[in-house]
Structure formats: structure tokens, C-alpha cells
Amino acid sequence: MSESLNIREIYRQHILPVMSDPARWSTKSESVLKAYLLCVYTDIYLLFRDTFDNELDNLRKYMIIKTQDNRFVSLGSSDVIVHLSSRYSPKLSLEPLNLQKSKFTFISNDYYRQFCETILQNDVDMRRFISFLKELQIDDFLQIKSIKIRKFTLSLSMI
């Protein structure tokens, strides 16, 4: 089996099932959870970009991201919206606006630091990585998630 097929199998058989189960990913170490994003980006997204679009929906539902407040969150959670920090996109980030921190969640700068040392050699590489994050719906602009709320009728009767 070629190495490229092997990494895709590791993704399908190990990484995706772990990320899709909070009971499993919550037991993983910080380094393993951060490595999932780096592995998907470098070994799958960059190498198989033409066929990766089919996998993006799953990845958006299950990707685990470290935030600036040192938590890990699942991008698929209905109450989670993660934004790029100014480290990733200094011209457009919401971070410098000093908005209420409890209302906005920013991606950890750990990914940036790790990538700069190993993978990102120039501005083109950085733009590719930011593009990948944006495809995961981690963006520098204000994002809003709509939540469907079922309407109900309340009846009061007087006796």
C-alpha cells in the first residue's frame, strides 16, 4: 500500500472517528488533537486537493480546534463559531476590535507557530493554510450561525 493511501486510511479509520466522538477526543492529549489538523492539512488536503472537496463537509462537522483560551472545540457544535486571530489575518481579524471575549472564540496561535517552524516557508504557503481554515469555516469576518427553533403554541385556560 502506498504511503498516500495509508494516510487516507488512517484519516478514515482513526482520525475522523475520534474527532466525531466527544468521549474519545476528550481523552486525547493536546499534541494529538493539534496534530489532527496539521496532518489533515499537510498529508491530505494539500496532496489530494482535487478530491478533498467531498470530505470538507465531514471535516466541518467534526474537526477539533484549539482556541486561544486553551480549550478544544468541535467545529460541528451548534454553539461554536471560531474566528481567525490577528496572527493569521492581521488586516481583517475581529480580534483588535476588543469585543467581549466571551462572545467570540479565536483559533489558537499554536497552529501558526508550529506551521511557521516546519511547513510555511513563504506567503503563498500561509495563504494556502488560511484558505484551508476558511474552508473549514474558520474565518476573519463576523460569522453568524442560524439556529432553527420550533415554534410552539401556549394555551392558557381560565377556570
Instruction: Give the dihedral sign, CA 140/126/111/32.
Output: positive
Cell of 116: 511557521
How far apart are the C-alpha atoms of 18 and 25, rounded to whole Å?
5
pLDDT value of residue 7: 83
The reported pTM is: 0.76
pLDDT in tens, the chain (159 residues): 455 558 888 888 999 999 999 999 999 999 999 999 988 988 888 888 777 777 888 888 899 999 988 999 999 888 888 888 777 765 655 555 555 555 678 889 898 888 766 776 777 888 888 889 989 988 765 555 555 556 655 544 454
Amino acid at position 135, single letter: E
Per-residue confidence (pLDDT) for residue 109, from 0 to 100: 87
Question: What is the pLDDT at residue 21?
Answer: 94
What does the radius of gyration of the chain's CA atoms come to, in whole angstroms? 18
